[in-house]
Amino acid sequence: MTDIHMERLSLRLGYRFKDASLMQLALTHRSCGSRNNERLEFLGDSILGFSIGEALFNKFPKAREGQLSRLRANLVSGETLAEIATEFDLGPNLNLGEGEMKSGGFRRASILADAVEALIGAIYLDSDMDTARARVLDWYASRLEAQSLDELGKDAKSRLQEWLQSHKRALPDYRVASVGGVEHAQEFVVECHVDGLKEPTVGKASSRRNAEKMAASRALEKLTGASKR
């Protein structure tokens, strides 16, 4: 990664590494060899789970253990982490082996999700727990704000539809903007057009369904955020 790309990614992450080699390691997939991000991913996974768990514990003081566990599982899922990676435009910055590069690994949800966890672990090693937790909470701020005990088990498309119906607005319109990549590693780009938003929200994923859910989640975040201002 060039210094320019590193600087741009640092701005998106909201963190500048003192040890740049930790950032590079966090972005290095195991297809590159034995020096890869798997150990950092393990560390970051623990920090992520604790940080989100603590935030939910404080946000919902009357929630039962099972409810908190389901909310946390949704927030720390590979799907959500891949969404965050896409928001950071992490794919082009990944260090992948030749085989993964050719097969479109920079778009693969599991690889993107692992890199986000590895970055959390790297930030912790480069700084401290408070800093790593602060980055996690910043990256998840809108998602944490949108959580509700009333919506457990419902995906983003269902929650968006219910919100729009409760506010007497038209249902969302999902449109496939493009389909790229090779057959076994496709990337769907879906736009979600919603009454009340000037521009459509966009989701990118390896399936149309997941791209629609991602776009719906972003639309709901914008709508709920605007209604509280």
Is residue 45 part of the annotated active site? The answer reads yes
Q: Is 117 annotated as a binding residue?
A: yes
Catalytic site includes residue 191: no
Residue 41 assigned to a binding site: yes
Catalytic residue among 117, 126, 191, 212: 117
Return d(Cα 73, Cα 206) in angstroms, integer.
21
CA distance 159 to 100: 35
Cα–Cα distance list, 89 to 12, 25, 85, 146, 205 (Å)? 9, 17, 6, 23, 13
Helices 129-139 and 38-59 meet at what angle, rounded to 10? 70
114 annotated binding-site participant: yes
Position 73, amino acid: A
Within 8 A by CB and 6+ apart from 170, the residues are 164, 195
The one catalytic residue in 3, 7, 19, 45 is 45
CB-neighbour burial class of residue 201 (10 A; exposed 0-12, middle 13-18, buried 19+): buried
Type of residue found at 204: K
Known binding residues for Mg(2+): 41, 114, 117
Which residues form the catalytic set? Answer: 45, 117
